[in-house]
Amino acid sequence: MEFTEDFDKKFPTKSLMMGRLPRNGEELKPVSIKLFNINNPQNTEEFPVEELVCKNILYVKIHKLNVTYYPEGNDIIINDLEELRVTKKGEVLILRGYHVDKELQV
């Protein structure tokens, strides 16, 4: 799904992988959010259930979610989700969600 206008949607998902995409003539870079039915999708060859592409994003706010950053791939991974809520307001993307009740592991 590609979004250029403002929106507020909920997605049932277990994990997400977020990264930036190259500019294609836009002023700001697009953000890609890939949704998966498994945790740690970066360690598998699993395909995403859905991919959200949000164009012209200045920054992303992540509210109350446990985030893992992988500098090798420049991706942000969020595991153990029940639901993800994505809101686009102008050039700002806001991620909120609900985690499965699980203790953080290192």
- DSSP-assigned letters across all residues of 17-85: EEEE---SS-SS--EEEEEESSS-GGGS-PPPSEEEEE-S-SEEEE-S---EEETTTTEEEE-SEEEEE
Q: Tell me the C-alpha distance between 51 and 34, whole Å.
A: 4
Residues in the chain with pLDDT < 50?
106
Work out the percent of the chain whose per-residue pLDDT is above 90: 71
CA 94 centroid distance within chain = 10
Report the pLDDT value the prediction gives residue 80, as an integer from 0 to 100: 94
pTM: predicted TM-score of the whole model, two decimal places: 0.88
Cβ–Cβ < 8 Å for 56, 26: yes
Report the pLDDT value the prediction gives residue 55, as an integer from 0 to 100: 93
Q: Tell me the C-alpha distance between 13 and 27, whole Å.
A: 30
Report the pLDDT value the prediction gives residue 24, as an integer from 0 to 100: 84
Q: Identify which of 33, 27, 30, 25 has the alpha carbon closest to the alpha carbon of residue 4.
A: 30
